[in-house]
Amino acid sequence: MRTPRADLLPPSERLRVLALDVTDAQSIDRAVAAGPIDVLVNNAGIGAAAPFECMTGAAVREIFATNTFGTMAVTLAVQPQFRQRGAGVVVNVTSSVTYKALPLLGVYRASKAAVNAFTESLAAEVEQFGVRVRLVLPGRAPETRFAENARPHMAGLDHEAYAELVQSVFASFGESGPITHSQDVAQAVWRAATDPTCPMRLPAGEDAEAWAAELR
């Protein structure tokens, strides 16, 4: 778990930075106990781009532990206070890769698609209590540290049998074209949190919006 950095955001009397490991039940309990929550944004995530045959069982479990079970665990910890208060918003950040099948991303895509399904069912359960649940689906965001953080989870994976495919896919990652900026995701999360009329799924970024449009 990375140490939280308060310097990532401008100083404010209304800002507190807390440590939170979404795979650690005690860490979740400490963060939730720190104060009432109005909006929960589940944004923790890790990924790895590799053929499924090359993934280790440990790598698969780690990806699901953070992306899927971590989202569920934090939501479960916060949900009772939302229900009792009759208000609250859950915003789950997944990925636009769930819009279409892509090679090398099967495990990551599955972990995020599971959150999509969970989110939609949860929304139907808690609407009666005045609690809203929404999805934000970002596209490719090269300005973030997502790819850098994914590399340790790819260490030791044997891509030799799939070398040509891996090379071509990674080359495509660097191609120019529509991308997602951090501001795109921030705006989508803000809309999900503040606009009761917004749709369940909010693509974030020009590329994500284009993929979503292909399904309409």
Q: What CA–CA distance (Å, rounded) separates 215 from 200?
A: 15
Cβ atoms of residues 89 and 28 within 8 Å: no
Q: What is the DSSP letter of 200?
A: S
Q: Among residues 45, 54, 105, 108, which one is catalytic?
A: 108
Phi, psi of 142 (to 5 degrees): -65, -15
Q: What CA–CA distance (Å, rounded) separates 174 from 71?
A: 29
| Cβ-based neighbours of 68, under 8 Å, separated by 6 or more | 111, 112, 114, 115, 118
Strand order in the sheet with 201-204: 39-42, 88-93, 131-138, 201-204
Q: Is 162 annotated as catalytic?
A: no
Q: Which residues are catalytic?
A: 108
